[in-house]
Structure 1
């Protein structure tokens, strides 16, 4: 039906018929009101896309229900759509594209399969997958990838930072998740899933400041760490728990409340200190990568690629005394054919017994370097021992003291071993 000015008074007069009927507006061509036999009424707009003539098929878009959208609001939206059509567009196709666009959860699978697993190291694959499974997808996984906004990402960032147990902040984890998500958006642009002019919403989100300062263990602290290690191996490190704590009546007898450090975990701590290797390099070390004859660890893959770590005589002595029960130097506790997952609980027990408030396992690597500087081992040599790819990475240790590779490693190992009472 054509020739009626569509208004609120007209809508109220429209009665349901035996079939759907469209009442077209007399002033705005293509704008109309559709009435259904059920009594439902909705606003529609019809047009021929891309500014085409009669040889181009017409399209119809539903603007919304007449019960929730006023005639004035619907007319304004219809004008906007018709203006886009005159510019050569097809608004209905845009809606179809929106429906077909992948969600963050859907595209994250493609990102992991086609990019991360193909071009990144195993540890990066594990970390990224964990970020998507536990943090990103539960929070924004249902959003269409092209509709994710800075506000969505900021909200996710804040929630992750507040998600630590016991009210603890997880700002570092929240920042690393942003890196994962930003990488996914970059991949989507390169794959033409998003247009070249798409603004990555992650780049505009401010990261939390991370002000953790590396803890360089002093010689006195190394002595305490060595004593705690020996105690843990021999009789165990006493638990620290109050007798009135919840569930304390079910605890073992006081004389049995000790954490025994197994020889492999103890060896891992010593090797981290004596070699300056990264935690993953020691925990994933295989026996076939240990060259006793040439005094080297030959790592086929590390954070910086293929890597060789020199072994001083003290590290060699530790390796020579480790029980061999599988292919890995530090085998898993439950499955000796797999590497040890982590030694965090062991390290925390050692710190508690040694009376050291804060020190990460990674600080053992920093300590190795700081001891080298104190022993006047040149920064270039320390960089080679640690496997740094740039002198800037090693320069961080230059403030610790005024200022060939195996000799440097030997001097560091001797100092650490002496401090730890070996």
Structure 2
């Protein structure tokens, strides 16, 4: 490639009249005032200013810009500034790259500081699942969504609209603005509405902060310990461990009250909770495909693992077989879910009938454990049936096979039925415990 070069004092007129000969690929006109400044023209008529010098023995050329964009004096000034840097042994291109990188870093930093809790919360729900788990448990995930709901929806029970979730006010807060003072102000306000609900929301939000602190892009923006402020912790409600459970003398009254419920699905469901020690949601979600009547097994959705399988004991076998098949769920309901969701009112009636002041659903689970011990079942067998996380026990925890587990669960069932005063003939044909219309 050839080039035509000239050195003159550039003027506006010379810049305007300078052209590239048709037979040339490009032509140059050098400025005498600023020797490193040149004007480049191409056959297409395009003209640009450029800087050319030598740095460390090599030619250094940097484009400045089009003559339509840069005036001659602006181009000279730019060329002078480049010359100063080259005289100091600095490459203007490298300095520009550094400046651009710094500006981009500042822009990203400003963008990051503008991130709000609401921007990051959905990412937490998608990626912040607990350790050693493939996904959130559905019920806990639903609670996380409810905590940040905007409210304003018609209430499912009663009149009026729902209020915003406890964490909703925090969504507009920048991540960098989640400080001890901000959380203290939020918690005090929410605690006036419901102290225990505010405390639970705080526990969930701590999990969010821990996840943010584990992510490189958010780590510098959050204070992981903001939720641990002493001013907040001292106002948390006392965590009293619930110990409610049926006493042996109360089992008969409770059983009778439950058996007399007009809602037979609720009656069977409550008895199934006591006979298995299952969590209320595990048993409520039991489907017919999870019931193996031939090999007498139940598969329950598990809080710790994905699922667990337990023996189907004789009385429970008859109880389930007596239920009508109205859809996919064993404990069916005409509600939107298609299954039992809330039987607190039914349980309250049974408790009132039995003159028992208070017993939670988890109290039934606790009752199973205590009655199992009284029946002489090993602690490991009881834990396995209940779906407790495996841990070292006095006997040394080891999972039992279905055949090894079955005698212990049947022994527990027999003991509960004995305490309830139930006369049960295991030879009765399944489904004949109660007639179904």
Q: How far has the Cα of 1:121 moved from its partner?
A: 2.0
- Partner residue in 1 for 2:249: 220
Asked if the contact 2:332/2:339 (under 8 Å) is kept, the reply is yes
Q: How far has the Cα of 1:95 moved from its partner?
A: 11
SS in 1 for 2:260: helix
- Partner residue in 2 for 1:349: 349
* Per-residue deviation, residues 156-203 of structure 1 (Å, max 9, x unmatched): 334444324xxxxx42x3333223212222222333342358431123
* Per-residue deviation, residues 88-124 of structure 1 (Å, max 9, x unmatched): x99x948971685222222212222343497312122
Judged with a 3 Å threshold, the aligned counterparts in structure 2 of structure 1 residues 381 and 114 are, in CA distance, closer, same or farther, namely: closer
Residues 218-367 of structure 1: pairs in structure 2 closer than 5 A: 218-233=247-262, 262-299=263-300, 301-335=302-336, 338-367=338-367
Judged with a 3 Å threshold, the aligned counterparts in structure 2 of structure 1 residues 348 and 143 are, in CA distance, closer, same or farther, namely: same
Of 139, 142, 151, which aligns to 1:126?
142
Judged with a 3 Å threshold, the aligned counterparts in structure 2 of structure 1 residues 393 and 411 are, in CA distance, closer, same or farther, namely: same
- Partner residue in 2 for 1:105: 118
Residues 11-410 of structure 1: pairs in structure 2 closer than 5 A: 93=106, 97=110, 101-116=114-129, 119-133=135-149, 134-164=164-194, 170-171=195-196, 173-196=197-220, 198-200=222-224, 201-204=226-229, 205-206=232-233, 207-233=236-262, 262-299=263-300, 301-335=302-336, 338-391=338-391, 404-410=404-410
TM-score w.r.t. the length of structure 1 is 0.63
Judged with a 3 Å threshold, the aligned counterparts in structure 2 of structure 1 residues 154 and 346 are, in CA distance, closer, same or farther, namely: farther
Judged with a 3 Å threshold, the aligned counterparts in structure 2 of structure 1 residues 193 and 358 are, in CA distance, closer, same or farther, namely: farther
- Partner residue in 2 for 1:252: none
Unaligned segments of structure 1, at least 5 residues: 1-52, 58-88, 165-169, 234-261, 396-403
Q: How far has the Cα of 1:420 moved from its partner?
A: 2.8
Worse-matched range after superposition: 351-360 or 318-327: 351-360
Asked if the contact 2:296/2:312 (under 8 Å) is kept, the reply is yes
- How far apart are the structure 2 equivalents of 1:193 and 1:130? 26
- How far apart are the structure 2 equivalents of 1:405 and 1:376? 13
* Per-residue deviation, residues 99-150 of structure 1 (Å, max 9, x unmatched): 8522222221222234349731212211211122243443322211121112
Judged with a 3 Å threshold, the aligned counterparts in structure 2 of structure 1 residues 303 and 123 are, in CA distance, closer, same or farther, namely: farther
TM-score w.r.t. the length of structure 2 is 0.61
* Per-residue deviation, residues 319-363 of structure 1 (Å, max 9, x unmatched): 11111101001123324x733222222222222222222221011
SS in 2 for 1:273: helix
* Per-residue deviation, residues 36-83 of structure 1 (Å, max 9, x unmatched): xxxxxxxxxxxxxxxxx9x999xxxxxxxxxxxxxxxxxxxxxxxxxx
SS in 2 for 1:299: strand
Unaligned segments of structure 2, at least 5 residues: 1-89, 97-101, 150-163, 396-403, 423-437
Judged with a 3 Å threshold, the aligned counterparts in structure 2 of structure 1 residues 293 and 99 are, in CA distance, closer, same or farther, namely: closer
- Number of residue pairs the alignment of both structures matches: 299
Q: How far has the Cα of 1:392 moved from its partner?
A: 5.8
SS in 2 for 1:105: helix
Asked if the contact 2:269/2:331 (under 8 Å) is kept, the reply is yes
Asked if the contact 1:383/1:391 (under 8 Å) is kept, the reply is no
- How far apart are the structure 2 equivalents of 1:96 and 1:392? 49
Asked if the contact 2:251/2:420 (under 8 Å) is kept, the reply is yes
SS in 2 for 1:333: coil
Judged with a 3 Å threshold, the aligned counterparts in structure 2 of structure 1 residues 412 and 214 are, in CA distance, closer, same or farther, namely: same
CA RMSD of aligned residues (A): 3.4
* Per-residue deviation, residues 252-281 of structure 1 (Å, max 9, x unmatched): xxxxxxxxxx11111110100011111111
Judged with a 3 Å threshold, the aligned counterparts in structure 2 of structure 1 residues 302 and 291 are, in CA distance, closer, same or farther, namely: farther
